Every structure is written in structure tokens, then in C-alpha cells.
Amino acid sequence: MLLTISTTHQPATDLGYLLYKHPAKVQTLEISQGNIHIFYPEATEQKTTIALLLDIDPIGLVRNSKGPSGEGFALEHYVNDRPYVASSFMSVAIAKAFSTAMNGTCKDRPELVDEKLPLEVGISVLPARGGETFLRRLFEPLGYEVSLKAHELDSSFLEWGMSRYFTVNLKARLRLRDVLSHLYVLIPVLDNDKHYWIGEHEVEKLLEKGEGWLKTHPEQEQITRRYLKNLGALTRQAFAVLLPDEEITGEEQEELPEEVIEKRKTLHEQRLIVTLEQLLKSGAKRVLDLGCGEGKLLRLLLKEKQFEQILGMDVSYRSLEIAKDKLHLDRLPTKQQERIKLIQGSLLYKDKRLSGYDAAAIVEVIEHLDASRLTAFEKTVFAFARPQTVIITTPNIEYNRKYETLAAGTFRHSDHRFEWSRAEFKTWASNIASQYHYQVEFLPVGPEDAEVGTPSQMGVFTIN
């Protein structure tokens, strides 16, 4: 996959200063998905072109399980377009190779940073979901002159029609840093395939890279939605900043088949119901919902009289606000209001506010924590808060195989830092139990498959 950027600004070799890349050198950088080679096919005072060649390692992608999800067919893990097209990997490469330029820093030619330069961008293969029209609607409002070459699916079988792949040439007089930001955001938007780096911080990245142009872009909504890959909560967060005056409506539309969305929903409901059952069974009166998100479990807890005190905690203020809204906390009768409290806090730090509770539910949260911080989490929960009962659920990675034809990659879009097999979860949970003097019992969550188990797994810890 090749990206080129050329200028005819005089002297054109200034491009090397702006990008912090010496025209006489070939440089190779590593990213986790492969290598980036940077070189200059031409470097004269009249015209200079820098090339970024992205050499994706498809086997490595599968090994690091960062590759495509295998939605279509069994070999798709290995046989796919990722190594050959501009995708979110290209954004990763641009950010890695040209970070200084993107930040608008240039030691040797500071005056050029804010100068609009005659620039030309070549993208050898860009998948454009939404076709030529959408591609033009993304770049033209930003001032680009767009020329395209559409590619057939197969030149020996013209009746198969055109593919979604284009060779793209963009010309504009713009600041270089803006061009890099446009490419960083818009390439994955056009590709609209799985992005392997979606997480909370993506909202910040989008807002940072979109500064100065995204708010006024006519396709702002599509760009935001696709960049965040239709992730409801993240997209809402971004819209909340981009469109502060507009109402943020419920769930954003997801581009998944109905039945997949339905299945995912019911799985989550099942998880919550099993959790609720275990909390009821424990006899707990004072309960914690740690990493409560938008308050789905809290809603169920409020309905049960057994729970006299309910505390929801989350690190995300935005999620807590949504929870507060969804639960109509402001409108509850005083007695009900006194039963529930929402607080912002992190499970990675010991917190006095979590003491004195009978039980804690931690539903689909641990996989959002960096594996290296799990020990801190364990201390917070099992040593300091130390409720009689702790209920933890997390995905069972073995079950991902079952999603092959449907929601493959269901877990990949979210902010998961790891996913565990049943054995891995058991080992981790059993070690904690023995270290902190709890007993642990394991429960399946969701429909059981003889080979790979259930989609989610639960550990119920009780003090010995």
C-alpha cells in the first residue's frame, strides 16, 4: 500500500524539513501490524515527492488477533485486502511517521507550517464504501480537486462489474498538517471496515485531528459515525462535543444485521439477569455496580426491594450522565433517590467510598483494563472494598469462533485490552480467591456450545 505526497512549492525539497524526513535516506519504522518504509521517489527543487509504503504482515495480524474478523469465509483471516489497501493501518502509519508535522512543529522551516502549499496526494488503493460520490463528498468540501480511477473486480470478467477500490489523486493548496489530518481521519472513514484501535481515546483523537474542519464539514455526521465505527456510546460522546446544542438521541444505528444486534442484546440481558440472580441469592442489601456504564444493571437493581443501598461507579463521566438520564434519577421519589448513588471513580485505585458493601457486580469491565493494571484492580476490590460477594463477568474468547458468519469481531471494536479463554479466567480467578481468602464458583452465561462453551463467563467469589 503506497501513499505519496508531492509538492511544487519552491524549493520543493522543503518537504523534507516539514516532514522531518531526509530526502536522501530511506527509513523503516515498525508498527505492530507491519513495517513502514519512507523514501523519496523524486527530490528536486521543482518537485519533491515523499512515499510511505506500508508493508502489512497478514500473518502477524492474525497472530496478534488484530486482523479482520473472518466474517465472510474461513480463510478470510489470511486472505483479505488489508495488506493492499489504505485502511486504519494507514492512519496508524501516518501518525507514526509524521507525528511532528501533524502537530504543526517544524524547527528548521517554522514559517512553512502555516503556509498553504501546493500539494498532491496519491493513494494507490483506497476502498470507498459509498462509492465515488461519497469519496468526492468527503474531500471536495475541504478544497481538494479529486481525480479517481475506479477498478474492475476482475479484468477477465468484466460482467462482474466494478469493485469498491479506487486509485485516488488529490490536489489542493493547503497546510501540510491539515492534509495529514484529513487523511488520518478520512481514509478509515472511507474504508469503513473494522478499525483495530477503537477505544475511549479515539474520540479525543478524532476531535483533535478534526480540529478546524470537522465541525463545519457537510458530512460531519457520517464521518463521526464511521470513524467511531457506529459505536453507540463513543459516537454519542463525540457528537456531544461536536454538536453541543443538539439533542443526542438513543442508540446510534449499527451497521450489523438485525439478528446479530438482537443476539448481542439478549446476551447482555442474560448476563445482567444472571448477575441479578446471584446478587439476590447472596442476600446482599448494600450493593456495588463497578464500571456501571450506562446503568443497565442499576435499573434492574432499583426494582428489587432487597437492595437498600446501591452504588454505581464508573470512570467515564459521560456514561454516568447517560445513566442518570436513563434512570430518571432526578424524577424519582425521594425514598428511591436515597437508595442509589452514582460516583465517578477508577477501579485501579483504592477508594474508601466502596467500603461497607455486601456485594459487588463487575460486569464486562475487567477486559477494559490493561492487563498490567489487574493487580491494582484486584487490590481495590478484594483487599480494600472487600465485599462478602464479588461477581465478575468477562467474554469467553473461545466463543469468538462461533461469530464467524455473524458478528465476528463483536468484541474487537470495543475497548477490550484482552479476552480470556475459560481456562485463563479460571486460573486468574482461582489465584485471586486463594490470595484474598475467597471461594470462587464459575457459571456459564449465554447459550452453551459443547466445544467452546458460552459467550460470556462468570466468577462468583464469596469470602471463606
Question: Residue numbers of the site for ligand SAH (CB under 6 A)?
Answer: 291-293, 296, 314-316, 319, 346-348, 363-365, 368-369
Least distance in Å: CB of 330 to ligand SAH?
21
Q: Closest distance between ligand SAH and the C-beta of residue 320, in Å?
A: 9
Nearer to ligand SAH, 312 or 453 (CB): 312
Residue 19: partners with Cβ closer than 8 Å, 6 or more residues away: 5, 50, 97, 98, 101, 176
CB 262 → ligand SAH: shortest distance, Å? 17
- Side by side, which strands form the sheet with 389-395? 340-344, 309-314, 286-290, 359-363, 389-395, 456-463, 438-445
Closer CB to ligand SAH, 67 or 312, in the complex:
312
Minimal distance in Å, beta carbon 293 to ligand SAH?
3
Determine the residue with CB nearest ligand SAH.
293
What is the sign of the dihedral through the CA atoms of 273, 278, 284 and 290? negative
Q: Which residues contact 32 (CB under 8 A, 6 or more apart)?
A: 60, 64, 66
Nearer to ligand SAH among residue 346 and residue 430 (C-beta): 346
Contacts of 84 (CB under 8 A, 6+ apart): 1, 125
CB of 234 to ligand SAH, least distance (A): 11
- 163 within 8 A of 152, measured Cβ to Cβ: yes
Minimum gap (Å) between residue 463 Cβ and ligand SAH:
22
Name the DSSP letter for residue 159. G
> Please, which residue, 395 or 453, has the CB nearer to ligand SAH?
395
Q: Which three cell numbers stand for residue 274?
A: 444472571
For residues 206 and 391, which CB has a smaller minimum distance to ligand SAH in the complex? Answer: 391
Please state the closest distance from residue 361 (CB atom) to ligand SAH, in A: 8
Smaller CB separation from ligand SAH, 89 or 411: 411
Q: Which is nearer to ligand SAH, 358 or 364 (CB)?
A: 364
Least CB distance to ligand SAH at residue 348 (A): 5
CA pseudo-torsion sign 75, 76, 77, 83: positive
Give me the helices (H) in 20-117, please. Answer: 58-63, 88-97, 99-102
18, 103 Cβ separation under 8 angstroms: no
User: What is the rounded CA–CA span in Å between residue 173 and residue 178?
Assistant: 10
Count other Cβ atoms within 10 Å, centred on residue 340. 21
Comparison of 182 and 229: residue with beta carbon closer to ligand SAH: 229
- Within 8 A by CB and 6+ apart from 321, the residues are none
Helix (H, G, I), strand (E, B) or coil at 73: coil
